[in-house]
A and B are shown apart, each in its own frame.
Chain A
Amino acid sequence: SQTIHQWPATLVQPVGSPLSLECTVEGTSNPNLYWYRQAAGRGLQLLFYSVGIGQISSEVPQNLSASRPQDRQFILSSKKLLLSDSGFYLCAWSVLGSWQYFGPGTRLTVT
């Protein structure tokens, strides 16, 4: 069966520090991968999606970037975090245009 992993589960980082969040999927090939951010009590904001290795589409211009070095690995990065980057970061995958399955999320607090 398919599973999706995210780490770390929680992270506290100072303003201006770098960020690297990782997402990996098991049990499927060539998934579509997504990064969402959810501010406290708010909806899901799509940040990036990828339909293949090295193919990244950005939805919101900001100080974040994404990379997909392997078929089932998706990485979210930042060189310098802002206070506004705090939130719940969710990775998701989908296959064949069906429903999305979300990872457990990373709760990021920027101090």
Chain B
Amino acid sequence: GENVEQHPSTLSVQEGDSAVIKCTYSDSASNYFPWYKQELGKRPQLIIDIRSNVGEKKDQRIAVTLNKTAKHFSLHITETQPEDSAVYFCAAKGASGTYKYIFGTGTRLKVLA
């Protein structure tokens, strides 16, 4: 069945450094890849997404890259701040007609001041 692997499970960085989280998906028909940030006790919230016809997307300090051939996509956070500390989830959605979103297992990011 469909699967999304996410690495690392935990990540600690110094404030101001960059953080990279990587995901690999199994369904080659997947065409939409959102990233969510979940703070402790709160709901997951979308921070950035990318579609399969785009290789990279950037929004201020956050960027996502997609390699369709390798079925990899990554989240890049630059100039990390303590408020970036949270759990981050990647997800993949299949082609039109598929309603399920397959989530990765999450990465707990700690930004050390």
B91 partner residues in chain A, CB cutoff 8 A: 100
B72-104 contact mask (Cβ, 8 Å, vs A): 1 or 0: 000000000000000001010100100111011
Residues of the A chain whose Cβ atoms lie less than 8 Å from the Cβ of B46: 99-101
Between A and B, 24 residue pairs with Cβ closer than 8 Å are: A42-B105, A42-B106, A43-B106, A44-B103, A46-B100, A46-B103, A49-B99, A51-B99, A59-B100, A90-B43, A90-B44, A94-B99, A94-B101, A97-B93, A97-B96, A98-B32, A99-B32, A99-B34, A99-B46, A99-B49, A100-B91, A102-B44, A103-B43, A104-B43
Residue of A at shortest CB range from B95?
Answer: A97
Q: Which residues of A contact B44 (CB under 8 A)?
A: 44, 90, 102
Interface residue ranges of A44-93 to B (CB < 8 Å): 44, 46, 49, 51, 57, 59, 90
* Complexed CA–CA distance, A34 and B32 (Å): 17
Interface size class of B (residues with CB under 8 A): 10 to 19
A13 touches B (CB below 8 Å): no
Name the distance in Å between A7's Cβ and chain B's nearest Cβ. Answer: 14
* Sample of 14 more A-B contacts, CB < 8 Å, known A51-B99, A94-B101: A42-B105, A43-B103, A43-B104, A44-B103, A46-B101, A46-B103, A57-B99, A59-B100, A94-B99, A97-B93, A99-B46, A100-B91, A100-B101, A102-B44
- Give the interface of B toward A (CB within 8 A): 32, 34, 42-46, 49, 89, 91, 93, 96, 99-101, 103-106
Among residues of B, the one whose C-beta sits closest to the C-beta of A49 is: B99
CB of A32 within 8 A of chain B?
Answer: yes
Contact in complex: B49, A32 (CB < 8 Å): no
State how many angstroms separate the Cβ of A53 from the closest Cβ of chain B: 15
In the complex, what residue of chain B is closest to A44 when comparing beta carbons? B103
